[in-house]
Amino acid sequence: MNSKTLIGVYKANGGLIGELSYFFGHLIGQAECSLCDITHSPIKKKGAFKALEKKLNDEFGIGFRLVHMNERTEAELAASQGREPCVLLQHQDGSISMFLDFVDLKAADGRVESFERLVRTRLDLFN
């Protein structure tokens, strides 16, 4: 088991209706999720993001889980409600803290490489 887990919270609901709602909303400019832009191409998870997940696990022993707004646990909801999209850090004791907020994610501008730099910098603060 990983000692810490990063939890990415999308600003979108999961499930068929949620996915379609976000897809069409994004097309017409009424839905935005900077975490979605980082992790996914229009069709599937980016290969560069999959590689980052593996690096974080291999180098730091940190897992990375992605959830939609309607898939959060009560603790995840309490830590992130109204602050989506974001990345939370779940500590070994189960406590959860904000790790990257929507401003941080927006600054990555959809680029996995920029996101990785943010994650590595922030991990230095938490270690």
- The H or E element containing residue 55 is helix 47-60
Half-sphere exposure at residue 24, Cβ-oriented, CA atoms within 13 angstroms:
5
Give the total number of structural domains in the chain.
Answer: 1
- Per the model's pLDDT, the better-predicted residue between 71 and 15 turns out to be 71
Of 22, 27, 20, nearest in space to 10 by CA: 22
Angle between helices 47-60 and 112-126 (to 10 degrees): 20
Owning domain of residue 65:
4-126
The predicted structure's pLDDT at residue 24: 67
| Helix, strand, or coil (residue 2) | coil
pTM recorded for the entire structure? 0.90
Joined together, the tokens standing for residue 21 give 């709602």
Instruction: For residue 41, give both structure tokens.
Output: 């191409």
What average pLDDT does the structure give for the chain? Answer: 91
Average pLDDT for 73-92: 96
Q: Which neighbouring-strand residues pair with 96? A: 90
Please answer whether residues 6 and 56 qualify as being in contact, where contact means their C-beta atoms are separated by less than 8 angstroms.
yes
Q: Per-residue pLDDT for 1 more than 70?
A: no
